[in-house]
Structure 1
Amino acid sequence: MFYLGIDIGKRHHEAGLINEKGDPVGKTVRFANSKSGSEKLLEYINKHNVSLDNCSCGMEATGHYWLSVFYFLHNLGFKITAFNPMQSDALRHFYIRKTKTDVKDAYLIAQVIRIDSPDETPFVEDDLLQLRQLERLRYALVDQTSDIKWKIIALLDQVFPEYEEIFSDVFGVSSTEILLKYPLPEDLLTIDTDQLAALVFLMEQKCLKCKSTYCWNR
């Protein structure tokens, strides 16, 4: 039985092969994160007479860089496990080391597959994977937006503490327009009350005419 460990990188990966006793089989191979790199990995596998029946593969689920290798090996029919390195007891101890090399990492990942015998990672269709990534992006943007809003409110509390009493929604269309034109209390004092009311009315009318579901102010 063989165990193939792949250390994932942004542009290049490192693959190492061990046998059922945990001994390295030949040297590791470094291959690019590309089609030609995948073909180089396949040559390495064939060189050591590795087949679908006698090999289990493992790799770190590092960012999105592991996906192309995962799909390549999956399409060939190999059993693959993609895992978070910090979820493995063996890797957790390893990652507190002061030094780190791709070659040792590849062998270590292979050892984790040999010792822990983790479950195979299920194949995820491209459409579902893209939906998950979009969902993560949306949550990240929502978090960033909330953080920025809190920072704006904190600044307003310092320079214009009465502002929140004027507008129920600080980030509404009228409030936003006024802050863009008159960011300080003394700026508002320079304009006529009728002029300010006209500006608010104009902004509200624009908002009512906006039919976009994704309007910032909805």
Structure 2
Amino acid sequence: MFYVGIDVAKQNHEASIINSNGKLLDKSISFSNSKAGCNKLITVLERFEANTSNVIIGMEATGHYWVSLYSYLIDLGFDVYVINPIQSDAFRKMYIRQTKNDSKDSFVVAQIMRFGQFTSTSLADEDIMALRQLSRYRLALVDECSDWKRKRIALLDQVFPEYSKLFSDTFGVTSRELLSKYPTPEDMLSIDTDTLCRFSN
């Protein structure tokens, strides 16, 4: 059996491959966060005759950078587990003296896979993940809209403090149209009654 630990990052991931005895088969490999990079990892696995039937792959949930790699490996048929970085702290302290280079994180994750001492993150299917991303995006847009409203109110309070008393909804259609054409108190004083009435129709 082979165990692969992957240290996930934004641009380049790093992988360590160990056997059932916990021996590192080769120095860790670095591969880009892209399809070409993933194929590089698969090529290395094939060199050791490691395939979907005899490989367990683990990676830490680092931001959102693991998602595309995880999806790609799952589609190929690999057993892939995503763990919380907190779970690897004890193992990291245990192996920190055994690895003297940057591969220690991926090596530690590989050892966690070998011992099976982890709780895998529960992942939703693609539709649920897409809905979650859309929900987060909507919340971000709502927050941005609220920020712009606060900024507009702050400006109005400086140049036209009485304006908020003129409309029940400062951000209603009539208010927005009026402000877009007559943004200052002086501009509004220049409007004749007939023109002003047309704004309310």
Q: Same fold (TM over 0.5)?
A: yes
Decide whether the 8 Å contact of 1:90 with 1:112 is kept in 2.
no
Deviation track 1:98-125 (CA, whole Å, cap 9, x = no partner) reads xxx8634323433454567323445543
Offset at residue 28 of structure 1 (A): 1.3
Deviation track 1:76-131 (CA, whole Å, cap 9, x = no partner) reads 3333222454x44619x99xxxxxx8634323433454567323445543333222
Task: Name the counterpart of 2:181.
Answer: 181
Deviation track 1:21-50 (CA, whole Å, cap 9, x = no partner) reads 655331112223333322221122222343
| 3-state SS of 1:57 partner | strand
Cα pair distance change 1:149/1:23, threshold 3 Å: farther
Task: Name the counterpart of 1:157.
Answer: 157
Point out the more displaced range, 67-76 or 21-30.
21-30
With normalisation by structure 1, the TM-score equals 0.71
Offset at residue 20 of structure 1 (A): 5.5
* Alpha-carbon distance between aligned partners in 1 of 2:132 and 2:138, rounded to the nearest angstrom: 10
| 3-state SS of 1:128 partner | helix
Q: Which amino acid in 2 is paired with 1:186?
A: E
Task: Name the counterpart of 1:74.
Answer: 74
Decide whether the 8 Å contact of 1:79 with 1:120 is kept in 2.
no
* Alpha-carbon distance between aligned partners in 1 of 2:110 and 2:2, rounded to the nearest angstrom: 9
Cα pair distance change 1:111/1:169, threshold 3 Å: farther
Correspondence list, 1:1-218, <5 A? 1-19=1-19, 23-52=23-52, 54-85=54-85, 87-88=86-87, 90=89, 103-114=103-114, 117-122=117-122, 124-201=124-201
Identity percentage over the alignment?
48
Decide whether the 8 Å contact of 2:83 with 2:118 is kept in 1.
no
* Alpha-carbon distance between aligned partners in 2 of 1:145 and 1:2, rounded to the nearest angstrom: 51
Give the count of matched residue pairs: 193
Offset at residue 160 of structure 1 (A): 1.8
Q: Which amino acid in 2 is paired with 1:192?
A: D
Q: Which amino acid in 2 is paired with 1:162?
A: E
| 3-state SS of 1:26 partner | coil
Q: RMSD in angstroms over aligned alpha carbons? A: 3.0
* Alpha-carbon distance between aligned partners in 1 of 2:44 and 2:79, rounded to the nearest angstrom: 17
Decide whether the 8 Å contact of 2:84 with 2:121 is kept in 1.
no
Decide whether the 8 Å contact of 1:19 with 1:25 is kept in 2.
yes
* Alpha-carbon distance between aligned partners in 2 of 1:19 and 1:32, rounded to the nearest angstrom: 24
* Alpha-carbon distance between aligned partners in 1 of 2:182 and 2:62, rounded to the nearest angstrom: 47
Task: Name the counterpart of 2:96.
Answer: none
Q: Which amino acid in 1 is paired with 2:79?
A: K
Decide whether the 8 Å contact of 2:5 with 2:17 is kept in 1.
yes
Q: Which amino acid in 2 is paired with 1:14?
A: E
Task: Name the counterpart of 2:97.
Answer: none
With normalisation by structure 2, the TM-score equals 0.77
Extract unaligned runs of 5+ from structure 1. Answer: 95-100, 202-218
Decide whether the 8 Å contact of 1:15 with 1:28 is kept in 2.
yes
Q: Which amino acid in 2 is paired with 1:79?
A: D
Q: Which amino acid in 1 is paired with 2:193?
A: T
Extract unaligned runs of 5+ from structure 2. Answer: 94-100
Runs of 4+ aligned structure 1 residues displaced above 6 Å come to none
Cα pair distance change 1:72/1:152, threshold 3 Å: same
